[in-house]
Chains A and B, each alone.
Chain A
């Protein structure tokens, strides 16, 4: 079945770059997503990448996709204390013909001043 795996914790200093990694299993997933969960809140879509792309850049965020290795990463440049949150990657899984998102366990990013 589908499975998405992430490392659980990452600590960086303010101003450094953060790289959060994710591996997934379903090679047919057309989109791959990154969600952010701030303390006490629900998940919010941060960015996504279409499966025919290798890279997507959005301001301080860079998403890299290696389809051969089924590896997805999220790079945050110039990490700020406000970036401290849990980051979830997600792929699309299916029950019959109905799609749903399969989330990883989440990576807690701690940004030290």
Chain B
């Protein structure tokens, strides 16, 4: 298995632009998590899905952030409009069940100028 796949690996954009981050979880996993990591705030859980349904989105910072999981093999995290303070590494992770070992993707490093 290729593991959790994220794209792009790096994204540089200008303030106000829309950013879409993509994730393909490990086949057979039914829980998917989006995290954000910064030096200041550490690792933050943004949202997670169980069987494609959002379970807890309390970590989503504001309405500019949205996440979807249209099917078991794909999820997106969208930021519209982006701001410099959104600059971070965004990780996607998946697991067989919410409480089990999570397998992390390599992350997307987002820089908003």
Contact = CB atoms under 8 A, between A and B. Distances in A.
A92 B99 contact: yes
A35 to B, nearest CB: 8
Interface of B, helix, strand, loop or mixed by DSSP: strand
Contacts of B45: 100, 102-103
Contacts of A62: none
A53 interface: no
Interface size class of B (residues with CB under 8 A): 20 to 34
A12 B4 CA distance: 33
Given A42-B93, A43-B91, A99 B99 contact: yes
Interface of A: 30-31, 33, 40-45, 48, 88, 92, 95-96, 98-103, 105-106
Given A42-B93, A100-B31, A101-B99, 14 more contacts: A33-B101, A40-B106, A42-B91, A42-B104, A43-B93, A43-B102, A45-B102, A98-B98, A99-B98, A100-B33, A100-B45, A100-B48, A100-B98, A105-B43
